[in-house]
Structure 1
Amino acid sequence: MGIELTMLHGVYLLFIFIIIGIMIMRRDTTLICVIGIFLLGLIASSSLNIAVSGIFNSFIFAIRELLGTILIISIIVAMSRILIRLGINEVMISPFTKMIRTPALAYWTIGILMMVISWFFWPSPAVALLGAVLLPVALRVGLPALGVAMAMNLFGHGIALSGDYIIQGAPKLTADAAGIPVGEVMAASVPLVIIMGAVTTVVAFWMLKRDMRKGKLSVSEEELVLHQEDEKHEVLSYQTKKLLSVLIPILLLIDVVVMFTLGLQGGDATALIGGTVIFILILIAMLGYRNQGMEKITSYMIEGFQFGFKVFGPVIPIAAFFYMGDAGFTSVFGELLPEGSQGIVNDLGYALAQSVPVHDSIAAITLTIVGSITGLDGSGFSGISLVGSIASLFAVAIGKGIATLTALGQISAIWVGGGTLVPWALIPAAAICNVSPFELARRNLFPVIIGLFVTTIAAMLILSI
């Protein structure tokens, strides 16, 4: 049964290409996104009132969806600022300073640590945990903040999330949709995750080193000032700082144990980290500022929230547009999609899958493309059930490879939408490192495309065996 595409689908697809083009030109996309949302509402409802109101309501929807990330980033920034200003950060990062002595060591050490921690409780909390501690170290040895963001992003939101071997949220969704055991998807994904991760991170590192060597990318004075020239208040003894530098990682490690023990993931994991960080902020403020501690708690929280909302300002409009491709459309405009529609993005994915000839190579290419398209809404997860269903259809047609095709689609969807290419999904790493999410997306684009190309070829070879 085919999906009937309408003008609504065409306009959405057209604006995707326009937005991608505008991003490549390094121009702001807010105006284009607002026009796109307006046209989608106008076409669906034929009502000027609903279309205009939909612009504002789409922003509300985007903020609601992103609020958890905004808050965790804000709170982590608040904590990191007080750690820096009271000198606790210097004591805490000293073991890493000895280990990280060059930009290359910084890139690979940060990346591998990010990957391991992300396996246990997903990347966003991991970015928050590692970024504030390791960013100053990397800057000192010459790795630009953009390089740190790339390492955390590619290893965490890319490698760790696309496999998701510990929490198993992604493979469970795809396996259920494909009608196979989750273990089969995870086993099939191992070689593909390794290939995708290795190719992407190596290419990204090579490009990073090339631009650093040519002087196109370096640690700026502003970055050093931001992370090294905060006023230090010598109000705590060295022993107290040392005690806190041990206590803070222990508390966060306890969070990891609790997450693993209770099976917390996603928003629940982020909430646990956020609550713990608030307690840490309160403890340090009361110890460091004593009588003024209560006021300082509020002061640092305000500073963190100002940072968080400033960073998210340009992201909300583009997120609002892409959310219209999934559940956001119904939430904002009501039940105005064509009959039988499963969301604009999913409809486009189905149409693509049903319009190509069936063959091993075509099946692999189609799953990569469909996975990438479903990732454009920025979640990485909303469309992976679709990927499992399409993998099942192609596997029946070619008589094999359901687990490999499912894993390939899962990897494509998450690498694109889970936080390496779609700008608003890049926010955690970009915010912690104080870099533009759009610039980070542009930097990731070429390595991720090469990785997907090589991984798709690898999947073809596996299917041909």
Structure 2
Amino acid sequence: MGLTPAHWVYLAGVLLIIGVTVARKNVVVPALLATAVTAWVMTGSPVTGIQAIFNASLIAASELFNIFLIIAMVTALLGALRAMKADQRMVTPFQKVMRGGWSAYAVLAVVTYGISLFFWPTPAVPLIGAILVPAAIRAGLPAMGAAMAIAVAGQGMALSSDYVMQVAPGLSATAAGVEGSAVADVALVLSLVTGITALVIVGVMLRKHMRTPAEVNLEEWEAGVVAEPRPPRRLLRRISVSPTRKLVPATSAERIAEPITVVEEKVPVGATVGGPSSGSGGSADGPPPSGGSGPDGGPADDAVPADDDMASARIERLSRIFSIVVPVAFLAMIVYMVLGKITDLVPSLEGGSAAALVGGLAAILVVVAAASLDGPKKALQSTGEHLTDGLVFAFRAMGVVLPIAGFFFLGNADFAGKILGYEDGQQAPGLLVDLVTGAEHFIPGNPIVMCFGVLIIGMMCGLEGSGFSGLPLTGSLAGALGPHAGMDPATLAAVGQMGSVWAGGGVLVAWSSLLVVAGVTRVPVIELARKCFLPVVAGLVLSTLVAALFF
């Protein structure tokens, strides 16, 4: 079948979306318009074109909601851990091994990678910034080095594979028409090649900037003079010991970590009962405070700090328990999944089964953590609040993907019929596959050229600042181009995923979540993106060659 006007309109929509992403603008409106016009031309009905805007997003939501649910469960778990300060305790032991700049660099990279695999970088970075970055700065690691380590290990290496939560592989695989586990396995290898290469190059760049461990390193960083010309020593000393150091804005994790005391809220009650205004005796006119029996409320005042001490001790005990239980539970899950892949001891978990295990385990841990901290009755409320917060975060982080994915699903024959409202048995055209087939003689069959082409398209999509919004496009291209080049579509989808997430996920563009990394490390975000460019691009080139030659 030859190309129809609908094919050309769809191609124009694809080029429009790519052009808008290159211009660093939001692609939601172009995706909605392209969906409506394409459906209109395909069916000849403007009403169907309008309906397709809703149907395309609905189909995308139904296909991708499992991803939203995993994000919600894991975010809810992080909220439950934060309530008992177990999130801080999980990373605090690593401070003890930061003896110098190089050990601090290694610890930051490893801990960031590990935490970001399970909780995603965006919620993990403030925690790392509050707990580990000051220790790393004190140990002699430059602030820019800390920022680059966090960005490469978390926003890049962990997020580009997303091997535990498998949100990114799920998006790529759905668009490419392959198993999510196949994309995840290749993406894990490529992300490690890219990340390790980038970290080594960053280490070479930092070799002349490491400093001797000293308290003054932290004082300079807190005084805000790290990225600026160094002031005279006397001025620096005066800045570092002045009260203005207390005015440095705390990060969100620091504010969460501040101890909350209720003693001051209860003291006025005792003061009113036993104060001068109560006359002689004081407490005879009203009931004594809870737990108090003396006329001046003394025993009640003594009981307040005792209650606080008991509550603090209980939270401390729960924090210790869950800081061990949660990592061990997820480690056991990973061991189970690995055993399923390489042995016959346990059933193999593929695609949705693995994702369901992650989400279910996270949900169980949320319930147990909430019940342990708040008690069985209050846990009914707090668990719901944690899950609600998780769902809100999931839709804020991923909601923009739905209309974009809907447009690319319209070019897939498996979904186009549902979007256009076709009857059962009525076959819809696969616009994207038809376009690739029509341009077959123009497309080089060389796997290396094909891989680098998809990588560049992924990086262009990442310029929009959202690492996942380009995955439906790169996945669709992988499904269409892979068979032509004699490549596994899963491998090609993983290559496109590398380009899109490393660029837009928060490493190469300053208008992405790289802002969070720059904020917690207090370095200029533009300078951070510029310094990350060479290491990351070198890593992407190497990993793309690995994909083309060995997969």
Give per-residue Cα distances to partners, 1:54-97, cap 9 Å, x unaligned: 10111111222221121111122222112112122222222234
Work out the CA distance in 2 between the residues paired with 1:254 and 1:111: 20
Give the aligned partner of residue 337 of structure 2: 259
Report the CA distance between 1:206 and its aligned residue.
9.7
Q: 2:498 aligns with which of 415, 422, 446?
A: 415
Are the counterparts in 2 of residues 282 and 297 from structure 1 also a CA contact under 8 Å? yes
Query: Is the 1:147–1:208 contact (alpha carbons within 8 Å) kept by the matching residues of 2?
Result: no
After superposition, residues 18-29 of structure 1 pair within 5 angstroms as 18-29=16-27
Return the offset for 1:349.
Answer: 3.6
1:8-407 correspondence to structure 2 within 5 Å: 8-99=6-97, 104-105=105-106, 108-110=109-111, 113=114, 126-128=117-119, 136-140=127-131, 141=133, 148=150, 151-156=153-158, 158=160, 196=194, 198=196, 221=250, 223-224=252-253, 228=257, 234=312, 236-260=314-338, 261=340, 262-290=347-375, 291-326=377-412, 327-333=414-420, 343-356=430-443, 364-369=448-453, 377-378=471-472, 384=478, 386-392=480-486
Query: Are residues 246 and 407 of structure 1, via their aligned partners in 2, closer, same or farther at CA, if it must alter by over 3 Å?
Result: closer
C-alpha separation in 1, matches of 2:27 and 2:474: 21
In 1, the alpha carbon distance for the partners of 2:421 and 2:199 equals 42
SS in 2 for 1:354: helix
Distance in 2 separating the partners of 1:204 and 1:266: 34
Q: Structure 2 vs 1, CA of residues 26 and 414 (structure 1 numbering), >3 Å: closer, same or farther?
A: closer
Q: Does the CA-based 8 Å contact 1:40-1:51 persist in structure 2?
A: yes
Aligned-pair identity in percent equals: 20
- Check the 8 A contact 1:38/1:54 in 2, yes or no: yes
Q: Distance in 2 between the 1:230 and 1:344 partners?
A: 58
Tell me which amino acid in the other structure corresponds to 1:329: A
CA drift at 1:133: 6.0
Aligned CA-pair RMSD = 5.2
Please state how far the C-alpha of 1:352 moved relative to its aligned partner: 4.4
Residue pair 1:195, 1:455 contacting (<8 A) in 2 also: yes
Give, in whole Å, the separation in 2 of the partners of 1:208 and 1:45: 59
- Distance in 2 separating the partners of 1:47 and 1:265: 41
Q: Describe the SS at the equivalent of 1:234.
A: helix
Give deviations 1:214-253, integer Å, cap 9, x for gaps: 68xxx98554457645969737243332222212222222
1:278-298 superposed Cα distances (whole Å, 9 cap, x missing partner): 111111211211242222222
Q: 1:367 deviation in Å?
A: 4.5
Q: 1:319 to 1:236 in 2, by over 3 A?
A: farther
> Which SS does the other structure have where 2:312 is aligned?
coil
Amino acid at match of 2:359: G
**Which consecutive unaligned segments of at least 5 residues does structure 1 have?**
115-122, 177-181, 393-401, 424-428
- d(CA) in 2 for partners of 1:207, 1:349: 43
Sort the Cα spacing of 1:421 and 1:59 in 2 relative to 1 into closer, same or farther, 3 A.
farther
* Partner SS, residue 31 of structure 2: helix
Cα deviation for residue 421 of structure 1 reads 5.5
Distance 1:354 1:49, change over 3 A: same
Shift of 1:334: 5.1
Q: Which structure has the greater CA radius of gyration?
A: 2
CA contact (8 A) 2:478 2:490 kept: no
Q: 2: CA distance between counterparts of 1:271 and 1:45?
A: 38
Distance 1:22 1:160, change over 3 A: closer
For 2:433 and 2:155, locate their aligned partners in 1 and report how far apart those are by CA, in whole Å.
26
Shift of 1:107: 5.5
Aligned counterparts of 1:104 and 1:329: Cα–Cα separation in 2 = 49
- 1:42 partner letter: W
User: How has the CA–CA distance of structure 1 residues 96 and 312 changed in structure 2, closer, same or farther, with 3 Å as cutoff?
Assistant: same
For the residues of structure 2 that align with 1:230 and 1:244, how far apart are their CA atoms? 19
Q: Which whole-Å CA distance do the structure 1 matches of 2:259 and 2:15 have between them?
A: 43
Change (3 A) 1:249 1:452: closer
How many Å separate the matches in 2 of 1:204 and 1:17?
35
Counterpart contact for 1:73–1:308, Cα < 8 Å: yes
Partners of 1:200 and 1:353 in 2: how far apart? 35
Relative to structure 1, is the Cα distance of residues 371 and 133 closer, same or farther in structure 2, using a 3 angstrom cutoff? closer
**8 A Cα contact 2:149 2:199, kept in partner:** no
Measured in 2, the distance between the counterparts of 1:131 and 1:107 equals 15
Letter in 2 for 1:252: F
When residues 241 and 422 of structure 1 are mapped into structure 2, their CA distance, relative to the original with a 3 A threshold, is closer
CA contact (8 A) 2:76 2:366 kept: yes
> What is the one-letter code of the residue matched to 1:365?
V
Q: TM-score, normalised by structure 1?
A: 0.66
Shift of the alpha carbon at 1:407?
9.2
**Residues 116-136 of structure 1: CA deviation (Å, up to 9, x unaligned):** xxxxxxx9xx34388766751
* Alignment TM-score, normalising by the size of structure 2: 0.57
Q: 1:9 is aligned with what amino acid?
A: H
1:30–1:318 CA contact under 8 A, matched in 2: yes
- Summarize deviations over 1:301-352 as a string: whole Å, max 9, x none: 222222222333333222322333334333312569xx99873333344444
Higher alpha-carbon deviation: 3-12 or 48-57: 3-12
